[in-house]
Amino acid sequence: MNVGVIGTGAIGTDHVRRLTARVAGARVTAVFDVDTARAATVAAIAGATAHREAHDVIDDPAVEAVLVASPGDTHADLVLACVAAGKPVLCEKPLASTSGAALKVVEAEATYGRRLVQVGFMRRYDVGYLGVKAALGAGRIGDPLLVHCVHRNVGVPAGFTGDMSLTDSLVHEVDACRWLLDQEIVAATVVEVPHSPLASPELRDPRLVLLETERGIVVDAEVFVNARYGYDVRCEVVGTTGTVALEAPTTGAVALDGGRVQALPMDWQARFGQAYVDELQAWVDAVRRGVTEGPSAWDGYAATAVAEAAVASRGARTSVDLAERPALYSGESSS
Ligand SMILES: NC(=O)c1ccc[n+]([C@@H]2O[C@H](COP(=O)([O-])OP(=O)(O)OC[C@H]3O[C@@H](n4cnc5c(N)ncnc54)[C@H](O)[C@@H]3O)[C@@H](O)[C@H]2O)c1
Ligand SMILES: O[C@H]1[C@H](O)[C@@H](O)[C@H](O)[C@@H](O)[C@H]1O
């Protein structure tokens, strides 16, 4: 499968490397980035052509599927162009920077009549999250009552400003909880906590978010994007008869000088490296079979709508008012 990649920054470059060396049945044949020097460097990794415009990638007759890894506010227009061209597209999260823009993608795909869009919520491919999902599905902890989530990053790049800890980071917890619990989130409340002096004041970091699902389950999610000590993602579902918690991959524990030390991953590449490979492989395999599976445009829309409610919350419980779900997305596992 010939893939065109739009956006060859941090994760775009990683995805090009993965598609080139670790994913079977695909190769990158075209790339675009507004940073033309960067695009040329990354094109060379894959032996691909660096195009002059994003639309040249989408319209390239040799390109069979597109991967969008540019900044979030560019996603919706690029995905809409892919749908208009009838090309399958894997779009990095978030699907869009506003729920209105995400809904346009949902509506365009529903009008097209079959799925073309997969959203890059890679946690659904992580062996730890899959274990939690399997335990819930088997009824091992009875009925879920509440979920504790933690999402800590070492730090954030310079462009990470404003409410991005909600729109760019919390969206992972939103998607994971919708998928694990198989229900929509209907309200969000952001509880103010003291802010870290190591974060820009504008970012208001960390944040504690309460999410309520349609069947009354409550999720507490801490998002702390300047935690410094490591990349730490946790999730524990508490049920009527037990709990199930995410197992992160572990390294050997070193016992020395009266202590015991275990290394933590320092970024998402280290923590979710295998999940990204498995996500890409599943996407390629499905598209080569003529279908698109995995997190859908509806999932992307719902996640952005919840993040938007969290942004609006400022301490108050804020409901999430989703549009009516088109029939194309009925029967999906997460929704
Ligand atoms: N799933 C995950 O865990 C994960 C991890 C990292 C990033 N992401 C997502 O991937 C996207 C990119 O993040 P990143 O960390 O690689 O950012 P980045 O800033 O490193 O890379 C973005 C790239 O896009 C380019 N770009 C900017 N505007 C563009 C445009 N209009 N068209 C084409 N290219 C354009 C930039 O020049 C840059 O090279 C974001 O949406 C982010 O949320 C997801
Ligand atoms: O774009 C990144 C990425 O999605 C990571 O998985 C997440 O941990 C970060 O918070 C976010 O900024």
Digit-coded pLDDT (tens) for 252-272: 899 999 999 999 999 999 999
pLDDT band at residue 99 using 50, 70 and 90 as cut-offs: very high
pLDDT, position 221? 98
Of the bound ligands, which one is closest to the alpha carbon of residue 171? 2
Going by their DSSP bridges, the two strands 259-262 and 117-119 should be labelled as unpaired
Q: Name the residue among 58, 119, 57 with its Cα closest to residue 87.
A: 58
Residue 201's pLDDT is what?
86
**How many angstroms is it from 168 CA to the middle of ligand 2?**
6
Does residue 200 register a pLDDT over 50? yes
pLDDT at 252: 86
Ligand 1 centroid distance, CA of 94 (Å)? 10
- pLDDT (tens digit per residue) in 203-234: 999 999 999 999 999 999 999 999 999 999 99
The pLDDT assigned to 335 comes to 41
Q: What domains are there in the chain, each with its CATH number?
A: 2-122+276-288 (3.40.50.720), 126-271+297-328 (3.30.360.10)
| Mean per-residue pLDDT over the chain, rounded | 96
User: Residue 334: pLDDT band by 50, 70, 90 thresholds?
Assistant: very low
CA of 169 to the centre of ligand 2 (A): 5
Residue 15 confidence (pLDDT) above 60: yes
Token output for 257: 């000088």
Which two three-digit tokens encode residue 40?
Answer: 């040329």
Two tokens, residue 304 = 């952005």
Pocket test for ligand 2, best of 68, 75, 169 (most atoms within 8 A of CB): 169
Q: How confident is the model at residue 332 (pLDDT cuts 50, 70, 90)?
A: low
Which is the closest atom of ligand 2 to the Cα of 92? Answer: 4
The angle that helices 171-181 and 127-137 make with each other, rounded to 10 degrees, is 30
Confidence band of 248 (pLDDT split at 50, 70, 90): confident
pLDDT (tens digit per residue) in 17-46: 999 999 999 999 999 999 999 999 999 999
* Least confident among 117-126, 193-202, 213-222, 317-326: 193-202
CB neighbour list of residue 187: distance below 8 Å, 6 or more residues apart: 211, 212, 309, 317, 318, 319, 320
Burial class (CB in 10 A: 0-12, 13-18, 19+), 4: buried
Distance 256 CA to ligand 1 centre (A): 41
- Calculate mean pLDDT across residues 187-199: 95
Please tell me whether the overall predicted TM-score, pTM, comes out greater than 0.95 for this model: yes
| % residues pLDDT > 70 (the chain) | 99
Ligand 1 and 209: CB distance under 6 A: no
Q: Which of 1, 331, 273 is nearest to 122 (CA)?
A: 273
Averaged over 166-192, what is the pLDDT?
Answer: 97
ipTM confidence score: 0.99
pLDDT over 70 at 328, yes or no: yes
The proportion of the chain whose per-residue pLDDT surpasses 90, expressed as a percent, equals 94
What Cα–Cα distance (Å) separates residue 132 from each residue in 21, 234, 246, 248?
30, 11, 6, 11
Q: Which ligand 1 atom is nearest residue 8's CA?
A: 39
Beta bridge partners of 119: 91
Any residues with CB less than 8 A from the CB of 196 and at least 6 apart, and which?
Answer: 205, 206, 224, 226
Burial (CB count <10 Å: 0-12, 13-18, 19+), residue 333: middle
Query: What tokens appear for 314 in the block?
Result: 């400022």
